Amino acid sequence: MSASEHGHGHGDQAGGHGHGEPQSRFIQHHFDDGAHQFESGKLGIWLFLGQEVLFFSALFVAYIIYRHNHPEIFQYAHKYLDVKMGAINTGVLILSSLSAAWAVRAAQLNQQRLLVWCIVVTLLCALGFLGIKYVEYSAKVHHHTLFGKRFAPTEAPDGTEIEQPDATPGKTEGGAPAPKEPLNTVGGVKAQPVPGAAGPPPGSAPVVPGDPAASKEEPASAVSGVGVLPAIEAQKTAGAAIDTHASARPPPNTGMFFTIYFAMTGLHGIHVLGGVIVFIWLLIRSMKGHFGPKYYGPIDFAALYWHLVDLIWIFLFPLLYLIA
Amino acid sequence: MLQYLLTFVVLAQPASGPGAEAEKPATSEAQPADKAAGDKPAAGAAGETKPGDDKAAAPAAATGNPCDKNAPRPTNKPKKTLPPVGPRTDVQSENYWMPVANSDMAEHVDGLFIAILAISIFCFVGITIAVVYFAWKYRSRPGHRAPESSSHNDTLEITWTIIPSIVCVIIFLLGWKGFVDLNTPPKHAYEITIVAEKWKWSYKYPNGWVDENLHVPVGEPVRLIMRSKDVLHSFWVPSFRVKQDVIPNRYTKIWFEAKYPGVYRQYCAEYCGDRHSFMKSLVVVHPPGGFKRYMEEAEAALLDMPPVELGEYLYAARGCNQCHSVDGSAKTGPSWKGIFGETHATSAGQVKVDENYIRESILDPTAKVRTGFNAVMPTFKGQLKDEQIDGLITYIKCLK
Amino acid sequence: MSNHVHESGYDDETHSDMGHVASKRVLLGTWGTLMVLTIVTVTASKIDFGAAELNLLIAMVIAVIKATLVCLFFMHLKYDKLFHSVVFVSAILLATLFVTFALMDSNQYQHDVYWQQRDFQPTTEVDKSYPALQPY
Amino acid sequence: MATAATTTHSGSPGDPPEPSYLTVKRGFRNWIVTLDHKRIGVMYLIGITTSFLLGGVFALLVRTELFLPGSQLVNEQQYNQLFTLHGAVMVFLVIIPGLPAALGNFSLPIVLGAPDVAFPRLNLFSFYLWCTGAALLLLSLIINAADTGWTFYTPYSTTTGTAVVPAVGGAFVLGFSSIFTGLNFIVTIHKFKPKGMGWFQMPLNLWGIYSTALLQVLATPVLGITLLLLLVERIGRIGIFDPALGGDPVLFQHFFWFYSHPAVYIMILPAMAVMSDLITTFSHKHIFGYRFIAYSSIGLASLSFLVWGHHMFVSGQSRLAGMVFSALTFTVAIPSAIKVFNWVATLYKADIRLQTPMLYALAFILLFTIGGLTGVFLGALNVDVHLHDSYFVVAHFHYVMMGSALIAFLGALHYWWPKMFGRMFNERVGQVCAILIFIGFNTTFLPQFVLGSRGMARRYFDYDPEFTSFHQVSTVGAFLMGITLVVSFGNLVYSLFRGKRAPRNPWGGSTMEWQAPSPPPLYNFYAHEQPVLYPIYDYSDLYWDETEGGYVRRPGAKPEAEGYEP
Tell me: do A311 and A280 sit in the same domain: yes
User: From the candidates D382, D543, D565, which should be mutated to test the interface with B, based on the most B CB atoms within 10 A?
Assistant: D382
Report the range of poorest mean pLDDT among C1-5, C26-30, D433-437, D524-528.
C1-5
Tell me: do A199 and A91 sit in the same domain: no
Q: Which domain holds residue D315?
A: 36-553
- Round to whole Å and give the CA distance between C96 and C82: 21
Tell me: do A217 and A68 sit in the same domain: no
Contacts of residue B230 in chain C, CB cutoff 8 Å?
Answer: 122-123
Q: Of C109, C113, C122, which is closest to B230 when you measure between CB atoms?
A: C122
Q: Are strands B281-286 and B214-217 parallel, antiparallel or unpaired?
A: parallel
* pLDDT for residue A197: 34
Report the range of poorest mean pLDDT among A130-139, A234-243, D189-198.
A234-243
In a domain, B62, yes or no: no
For chain B, the three-class secondary structure string (H helix, E strand, C coil) is CHHHHHHHHHHHCHHHCCCCCCCCCCCCCCCCCCCCCCCCCCCCCCCCCCCHHHHHHHHHHHHCCCCCCCCCCCCCCCCCCCCCCCCCCCCCCCCCCCCCCCCHHHHHHHHHHHHHHHHHHHHHHHHHHHHHHHHHHCECCCCCCCCCCCCCCHHHHHHHHHHHHHHHHHHHHHHHHHHHHHHCCCCCCEEEEEEEECCEEEEECCCCCEECCEEEECCCEEEEEEEECCCCEEEEEHHHCEEEEECCCECEEEEEECCCCEEEEEEECCCCCHHHHHCCEEEEEECCCHHHHHHHHHHHHHHCCCHHHHHHHHHHHCCHHHHCCCCCCCCCCCCCCCCCCCEEEECCEEEECCHHHHHHHHHCCCCCCECCCCCCCCCCCCCCCHHHHHHHHHHHHHCC
Q: How confident is the model at residue B341 (pLDDT cuts 50, 70, 90)?
A: confident
**Are B124 and D284 in contact (CB < 8 Å)?**
no
Q: How confident is the model at residue A165 (pLDDT cuts 50, 70, 90)?
A: low
Tell me: do A300 and A154 sit in the same domain: yes
In a domain, B207, yes or no: yes
In a domain, A9, yes or no: no
Q: Are strands B190-197 and B200-204 parallel, antiparallel or unpaired?
A: antiparallel
In a domain, D287, yes or no: yes
Tell me: do A140 and A289 sit in the same domain: yes
- Round to whole Å and give the CA distance between B193 and B393: 28
At residue D543, the 3 state secondary structure works out as strand
Contacts of residue C124 in chain B, CB cutoff 8 Å?
Answer: none
Closest CA relative to residue D146, chosen from D226, D50, D77: D77
Neighbours of B330 (CB within 10 A): 13
Report the range of poorest mean pLDDT among A82-91, B289-298, D98-107.
B289-298
How distant is the alpha carbon of residue B324 from its chain centre?
A: 28
- Round to whole Å and give the CA distance between D279 and D296: 17
> Are C59 and A321 a contacting pair, CB within 8 Å?
no
* pLDDT for residue B362: 86
ipTM strictly over 0.85?
A: no
Neighbours of A242 (CB within 10 A): 17
Report the range of poorest mean pLDDT among A211-225, C63-77, D315-329.
A211-225
Tell me: do B297 and B389 sit in the same domain: no
**Are D320 and C105 in contact (CB < 8 Å)?**
yes
In a domain, B337, yes or no: yes
> Are D61 and D73 a contacting pair, CB within 8 Å?
yes
* pLDDT for residue B78: 67
- Round to whole Å and give the CA distance between B245 and B231: 10
Contacts of residue B302 in chain A, CB cutoff 8 Å?
Answer: 198-199
B 248-307 near D (Cβ less than 8 A): 248-250, 252, 265, 267-278
In a domain, A290, yes or no: yes
Tell me: do B345 and B260 sit in the same domain: no
For every residue of A114-154, DSSP letters joined together read: HHHHHHHHHHHHHHHHHHHHHHHHHHHHHTTB-SGGGB--S
Report the range of poorest mean pLDDT among A209-223, B141-155, C33-47, D316-330.
A209-223
Q: How confident is the model at residue C51 (pLDDT cuts 50, 70, 90)?
A: confident
A 177-236 near B (Cβ less than 8 A): 179, 181-183, 186-189, 194, 196-201, 204-209, 211, 213-214, 217, 219-231, 233-235
Residue A59 in this model has a pLDDT that exceeds 90: yes
User: From the candidates C112, C114, C117, C130, which should be mutated to test the interface with B, based on the most B CB atoms within 10 A?
Assistant: C112
Work out the angle between the directed axes of helices B104-137 and D356-379 (0-180°, nearest 10).
160
In a domain, A11, yes or no: no
Contacts of residue B229 in chain C, CB cutoff 8 Å?
Answer: 120, 122
Q: Which domain holds residue A92?
A: 59-163+247-324
In a domain, A204, yes or no: yes
Closest CA relative to residue A61, chosen from B119, D271, C95, D280: C95
| CATH number of the structural domain spanning residue B376 | 1.10.760.10
- Round to whole Å and give the CA distance between D377 and D387: 8
- Round to whole Å and give the CA distance between D192 and D199: 12
Tell me: do A223 and A129 sit in the same domain: no
Tell me: do A83 and A227 sit in the same domain: no
**Are D334 and B147 in contact (CB < 8 Å)?**
no
More confident residue, D485 or B37: D485
Interchain CB contact of D219 with A (< 8 Å)? yes
Last residue of a domain, one of B285, B304, B323: B304
pLDDT tens per residue, range B343-389: 888 888 888 888 888 888 888 888 888 888 888 888 888 778 788 88
Q: How confident is the model at residue B57 (pLDDT cuts 50, 70, 90)?
A: very low
* pLDDT for residue C123: 42
| CATH number of the structural domain spanning residue B85 | 2.60.40.420
Q: How is residue A295 annotated by DSSP?
A: B
Neighbours of A260 (CB within 10 A): 25
Percent helix, strand and coil across chain A, each to the nearest 5:
60, 0, 35
The CA distance from A128 to the nearest CA of chain D, in Å, is: 27
> Are D272 and D208 a contacting pair, CB within 8 Å?
yes
| CATH number of the structural domain spanning residue A253 | 1.20.120.80
Q: How confident is the model at residue A213 (pLDDT cuts 50, 70, 90)?
A: very low
Tell me: do B121 and B238 sit in the same domain: yes
Closest CA relative to residue B8, chosen from B390, B286, B340: B286
Q: How confident is the model at residue A181 (pLDDT cuts 50, 70, 90)?
A: very low
Tell me: do B134 and B275 sit in the same domain: yes
The pLDDT of B302-313, averaged and rounded, is 78
Q: A243 — phi, psi (to 5°)?
A: -145, 120
**Are D321 and C101 in contact (CB < 8 Å)?**
yes
Domains identified in chain B, total number: 2
Neighbours of B163 (CB within 10 A): 11
Q: Of A29, A55, A259, which is closest to D221 when you measure between CB atoms?
A: A55
The CA distance from B52 to the nearest CA of chain D, in Å, is: 42
In a domain, A50, yes or no: no
> Are B254 and B247 a contacting pair, CB within 8 Å?
no
* pLDDT for residue A1: 28
**Does residue D519 have a cis bond before it (omega within 30 degrees)?**
yes
A 112-141 near C (Cβ less than 8 A): none
* pLDDT for residue A63: 94
Q: Of A199, A229, A239, which is closest to B225 when you measure between CB atoms?
A: A229
Cα–Cα separations (whole angstroms), residue D486 to D94, D434, D449, D481, D494 = 16, 12, 26, 9, 12
Q: Of C45, C63, C121, which is closest to A315 when you measure between CB atoms?
A: C63
Neighbors of chain B with 3 or more C-beta pairs under 8 Å: A, C, D
Q: Of D338, D459, D566, which is closest to B276 when you measure between CB atoms?
A: D459
The CA distance from A215 to the nearest CA of chain C, in Å, is: 22
* pLDDT for residue A261: 93
The pLDDT of B70-98, averaged and rounded, is 75
More confident residue, A26 or D60: D60
The mean of the pLDDT values for chain A is: 72
Domains identified in chain A, total number: 2
User: From the candidates D144, D283, D344, D376, which should be mutated to test the interface with B, based on the most B CB atoms within 10 A?
Assistant: D376
| CATH number of the structural domain spanning residue D209 | 1.20.210.10
Tell me: do B232 and B320 sit in the same domain: no
Contacts of residue A16 in chain D, CB cutoff 8 Å?
Answer: none
Tell me: do B213 and B309 sit in the same domain: no
Closest CA relative to residue D110, chosen from D194, D216, D213, D9: D194
User: From the candidates D75, D159, D229, D255, which should be mutated to test the interface with C, based on the most C CB atoms within 10 A?
Assistant: D159
Q: Are strands D542-545 and D550-553 parallel, antiparallel or unpaired?
A: antiparallel
The pLDDT of A293-303, averaged and rounded, is 91
Q: Which domain holds residue B320?
A: 305-397
Contacts of residue B33 in chain A, CB cutoff 8 Å?
Answer: 226
Q: D96 — phi, psi (to 5°)?
A: -75, -50
The pLDDT of B275-296, averaged and rounded, is 90
Residue A232 in this model has a pLDDT that exceeds 80: no
Last residue of a domain, one of B304, B320, B338: B304
pLDDT along chain D (566 residues), means of 10: 36 65 84 90 95 95 92 89 94 93 93 90 95 95 91 90 92 96 95 87 92 95 95 89 85 94 94 93 90 93 94 89 93 94 92 93 96 94 93 96 94 94 93 96 95 93 92 96 96 92 88 86 84 81 80 76 64
The CA distance from C46 to the nearest CA of chain D, in Å, is: 29
In a domain, D560, yes or no: no
Tell me: do B93 and B217 sit in the same domain: yes
Length of chain B: 400
Task: Please name the helix (run of DSSP H) or strand (run of DSSP E) that holds residue D448, with its range, or none.
Answer: helix D427-454
In a domain, D1, yes or no: no
More confident residue, B327 or A49: A49
Neighbors of chain A with 3 or more C-beta pairs under 8 Å: B, C, D
Q: How confident is the model at residue A207 (pLDDT cuts 50, 70, 90)?
A: very low
Tell me: do B96 and B233 sit in the same domain: yes
Length of chain C: 136
Three-point CA angle C93, C98, C101, nearest 5°: 120
Work out the angle between the directed axes of helices D319-347 and B104-137 (0-180°, nearest 10).
20
Domains identified in chain D, total number: 1
- Round to whole Å and give the CA distance between B231 and B199: 10
Q: B348 — phi, psi (to 5°)?
A: -110, 45
Interchain CB contact of D195 with B (< 8 Å)? no
For D200-253, the three-class secondary structure string (H helix, E strand, C coil) is CCCCHHHHHHHHHHHHHHHHHHHHHHHHHHHHHHHHHCCCCCCHHHCCCHHHHH
In a domain, D6, yes or no: no
Sheet holding B233-237, edge to edge: B214-217, B281-286, B262-268, B233-237, B242-246
Number of H helices, E strands in chain D: 18, 4
**Are B249 and C113 in contact (CB < 8 Å)?**
yes
In a domain, B299, yes or no: yes
Length of chain D: 566
More confident residue, D71 or B59: D71
The whole-model pTM stands at 0.82
In a domain, A251, yes or no: yes
CB burial readout D439-463, b (16+ within 10 A) else e = ebbbbbbbbbbbbbbbbbbbbbbbb
Interchain CB contact of A168 with B (< 8 Å)? no
Residue A171 in this model has a pLDDT that exceeds 80: no
Q: Are strands B190-197 and B221-228 parallel, antiparallel or unpaired?
A: parallel
Tell me: do A66 and A210 sit in the same domain: no
Last residue of a domain, one of B246, B279, B304: B304
Interchain CB contact of D289 with B (< 8 Å)? yes
Residue C46 in this model has a pLDDT that exceeds 80: yes
- Round to whole Å and give the CA distance between B209 and D538: 77
- Round to whole Å and give the CA distance between C70 and C77: 9
* pLDDT for residue B169: 95
**Does residue B238 have a cis bond before it (omega within 30 degrees)?**
no
In a domain, B175, yes or no: no
In a domain, B253, yes or no: yes
Q: Are strands D500-501 and D542-545 parallel, antiparallel or unpaired?
A: unpaired
The pLDDT of B164-181, averaged and rounded, is 93
In a domain, A171, yes or no: no
Contacts of residue C59 in chain A, CB cutoff 8 Å?
Answer: 318-319, 322
* pLDDT for residue B51: 39
